[in-house]
Amino acid sequence: MAPMGNYSAEREPTARELNMDNIIFNGILTTMGYEGEYITGSHKSGPVWNLIPGVREDMFPHQQEAFEFMWKKLAGGIDIEEVKKFVKTDTLSGCVISHAPGTGKTRLAITFVQSYLELFPQCFPVIIAPKGMLDTWETEFRKWNVKIPFHILNSRDIHWHGDKTVEKLASNDKELARRLSISSIDKNYMRALKLRSWAEGSSIIGLSYSLFQKLTKGEGNDDDKLRQMLLQRPDLLILDEGHTPRNKESNIFKALAEVRTKRRIILSGTPFQNNFEELRSVFSLLLPANFEAMDFFPSSKLHNVTDVMVDEIRKRLDPFVHIHNGDILHKSLKGLRESVVILNPLPSQKRIIAMMEKHKTRGKRPQKEKTHGGTLEWEYKISLASVHPSLVAGMKKLPKEVTSVVDELPLERLRLKPSEGVKTRFVYEVVRLCQALKERVLVFSQFLEPLDLIMQQLRKEFNWTKGKEIMYMSGNVSPKTRKALMVAFNDVESEAKVMLASTKACGEGITLVGASRVVLLDVVWNPSVGRQAIGRAYRIGQQKIVHTYNLIAEGTQEKAKYDTQAKKDQMSKLLFSSEPQPTQSAAGHQNLFPMTGFWNR
């Protein structure tokens, strides 16, 4: 085994001592993945459930079914002897686990990895997930007492007890053992230590999509070796929120496309996000050889898609997808009540919004004719204005007509008055009423400015304190703080009243069952964003009926945006639902979506 290098307690390791060759590569990269005979565990026969005795009884029926589905797709069957026959064939593939948010996909995947390692101890599993979800994975690994360590490459921390590689190195190096005990090791050195452990089969690694992209760039001698190891060595790849790399032109998609193994598991409650091109990209990552040549994905817009097209797509995708729509939630939880709330702004707020909508339309002219920003910038500004007019104060690139209206109003004086904004007023009333009901409120926005304003207003109106009655979670919050906030908010004994959360940072992978009221401040084009946000509260562990409020400001384009969102959501259900969906009375080529109309949930 390569030496770790000698260093004193008074200094950090030198560049020579941090050399990747010394820590990871020396003697490890003679083979990448399974190039010779597959090494299997001591289990001789019987069903794969025997690999982890007793685990089946602890899983829900949909998890049991999906567990067997994964074994069939990735290993050829659920009988151990049968699996050993199929393991070297080219007929195996990956699969998509499309289960509703909050139904235990992480636990399911961990159980599969744990059992797969029992039979194939040198499969070198890699789990890639959005950065904010990696801590959830680590928590789940500990919760289910998985024997093999799980190391997060994004983190400087390491839980190394039980890691054979690290324990052996530490037993031969007292200084290393001391530094491990006090977490006093350089970040890059710690990452290299985790990679060595994983490369020797002593652990599982998890990392974010962005870090995987960075580490597989292959710039420099050692970096190229690391790139080859991450692309060639894994024989089992799990992509959590696997719809993330859906843009075929993105660097992360290109990096993942180069991974050698075909044994890939995509976890996603919402595989269909915006269009069929994205869906095709996701499945081409799963089945590159099969899907590149397939032309059954329609290029037409949603309103031109027919039931015949949908049936054809489902027929092609079904063999690779296991679907669960959340029946376990409907049966075990008390209920979900969704509302679309159309709010009429006050006259001054309505006037500002009307002027902005007018200039947004002008913004659709050719780029060279634009002077006050494009359509997306105007959508952002209008979204803020629909929450509270004071959020317009200080905005740049406002036309004179809008500025003149804004200047007429004492916006700074009105800032801390929730009644002056149609959406802040709604949030205030829900929070006020929930105090009497002893319920907690979860407020989501894709922008931080509304959350900051609402926090200030609640502090003034109720004399509340941030971190006590008001929890605030954004992308700037560290994983440790995020976890502490989540625990406090879900603790029925805590004084928490409301959680203000960024949709991007907190819309996936965390549990906020302390809330029974969910407010979505703004409308986004992608319906899965709202679904995921609601799934933070409406999931296993929730003890109350969950009420959700999708807020739409009258006089904005939010109605049209919600209409488009609802159509995308309906298409997702048509493609990835085990429940019968409404069909058209006319046969064959009937369009599934009308061009106009507003959909209510």
How many Å apart are CA 56 and CA 54, to the nearest integer?
6
The string over 504-532, giving b where at least 16 C-beta atoms fall within 10 Å of a residue's C-beta and e elsewhere, is bbbbbbbbbbbbbbbbbbbbbebbbbbbb
At residue 443, φ and ψ (nearest 5 deg) are: -110, 125
Q: Domains along the chain?
A: 92-326 (3.40.50.10810), 330-341+417-575 (3.40.50.300), 350-411 (no CATH)
pLDDT of residue 288: 61
**CB–CB of 453/387 below 8 Å?**
yes
End-to-end Cα, the chain, rounded Å: 61
How many Å apart are CA 436 and CA 168, to the nearest integer?
58
| Token reading at 414 | 């009105």
**CB–CB of 520/502 below 8 Å?**
no
Other CB atoms within 10 A of residue 548 CB: 23
The pTM assigned to this predicted structure is 0.84
- CA geometry: angle 63, 270, 341, nearest 5 deg: 115
Query: Which residues, including other chains, have CB under 8 Å from residue 544's CB and lie 6 or more apart?
Result: 334, 439, 516
pLDDT of residue 49: 96
pLDDT of residue 412: 79
pLDDT of residue 1: 36
pLDDT of residue 25: 54
**CB–CB of 191/215 below 8 Å?**
no
How many Å apart are CA 196 and CA 534, to the nearest integer?
39
Phi-psi label, residue 201: left if phi above 0, alpha if psi -120 to 50, beta otherwise: left
pLDDT of residue 179: 87
Measured N-to-C along each axis, helices 527-534 and 558-575 cross at an angle, to the nearest 10 degrees, of 80
State which residues of the chain have pLDDT below 50. Answer: 1-20, 27-37, 293, 364-372, 582-601
How many Å apart are CA 518 and CA 355, to the nearest integer?
30
